[in-house]
């Protein structure tokens, strides 16, 4: 917080949402490997970009996708067990991967997603306790995030990047139905959405 407050529109030259993600080294012990990180222009990423990250091999990096859904029939017990297993899986994944993706894509009639915010916060703090948080980037693939506030809260809870796939797929569906301008491409839809999110985050 600044006093007087920064105007995100008139003083955008001093504001940026660009962020490097991936393994961080000890800043007190400079090393060439410290600059080998993935640089994002802003934290909201598109569905195609996420697919690229899921199959990343650049510089020997790899990613691990963690399903954060559990069977409906397991009830509360299944929820608690799943939350613990998510943390355990994230810790094991942090030993050999540079990107961890928390995904609720499997959610549906038979599988209920653990809240992306809850799963993210649990994993973030578990990795801190296990001393491995700085070794990985946490990326969230979720249908829950739709508005600026959702994105901001996820960032505050430790997300390095977020793919709000449902919002993007909904916009594409509305375009296909003629509700939105039919000349809009998926890339144009993403850029418009991402710009709106960036403006909101900056404010």
Q: What is the reported pTM?
A: 0.91
Is the separation of the CB atoms in 116 and 154 below 8 Å?
Answer: yes
Strands (E), 82-156: 99-103, 111-113, 137-141
Q: Which CATH class is domain 16-37+55-163?
A: alpha beta
Q: What is the DSSP string of 137-190?
A: EEEEE-SS--SHHHHHHHHHTT-SEEE-HHHHHHHHHHHHTTSS-TT--HHHHH
Establish how many alpha carbons lie within 13 A of residue 131's alpha carbon, considering only the half-sphere containing its beta carbon.
1
Reported as a single tens digit per residue, the pLDDT across 6-19 is 777 777 777 888 88
Residue 137 dihedral angles phi and psi, to the nearest 5°: -105, 140
List the chain domain ranges: 16-37+55-163, 165-203
Reported as a single tens digit per residue, the pLDDT across 173-197 is 999 999 999 999 999 999 999 999 9
With 80 as the cut, is the pLDDT of residue 4 above it? no
Q: State the pairing for strand pair 38-40/19-21.
A: antiparallel
Q: At which residue do the structure tokens 């491409």 appear?
A: 185
Q: What per-residue confidence (pLDDT) applies to 61?
A: 92
Q: What is the pLDDT confidence band of residue 112, given thresholds at 50, 70 and 90?
A: very high
Q: What is the pLDDT confidence band of residue 25, given thresholds at 50, 70 and 90?
A: confident
């Amino acid at each position: 917080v600044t006093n007087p407050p920064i105007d995100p529109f008139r003083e955008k030259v001093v504001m940026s949402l660009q962020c490097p993600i991936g393994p961080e080294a000890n800043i007190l012990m400079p090393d060439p490997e410290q600059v080998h990180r993935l640089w994002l222009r802003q934290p909201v990423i598109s569905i195609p970009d996420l697919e690229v990250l899921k199959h990343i091999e650049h510089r020997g990096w790899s990613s691990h996708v963690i399903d954060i859904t559990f069977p409906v029939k397991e009830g509360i017990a299944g929820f608690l067990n799943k939350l613990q297993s998510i943390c355990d899986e994230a810790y094991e994944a942090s030993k050999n991967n540079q990107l961890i993706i928390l995904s609720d894509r499997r959610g549906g009639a038979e599988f209920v997603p653990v809240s992306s915010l809850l799963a993210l916060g649990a994993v973030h703090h578990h990795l801190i306790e296990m001393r491995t948080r700085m070794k990985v980037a946490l990326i969230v693939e979720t249908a829950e995030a739709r508005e600026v506030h959702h994105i901001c809260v996820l960032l505050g809870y430790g997300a390095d990047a977020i793919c709000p796939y449902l919002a993007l797929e909904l916009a594409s569906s509305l375009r296909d139905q003629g509700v939105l301008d039919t000349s809009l491409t998926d890339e144009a839809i993403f850029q418009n959405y991402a710009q709106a999110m960036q403006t909101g985050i900056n404010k």
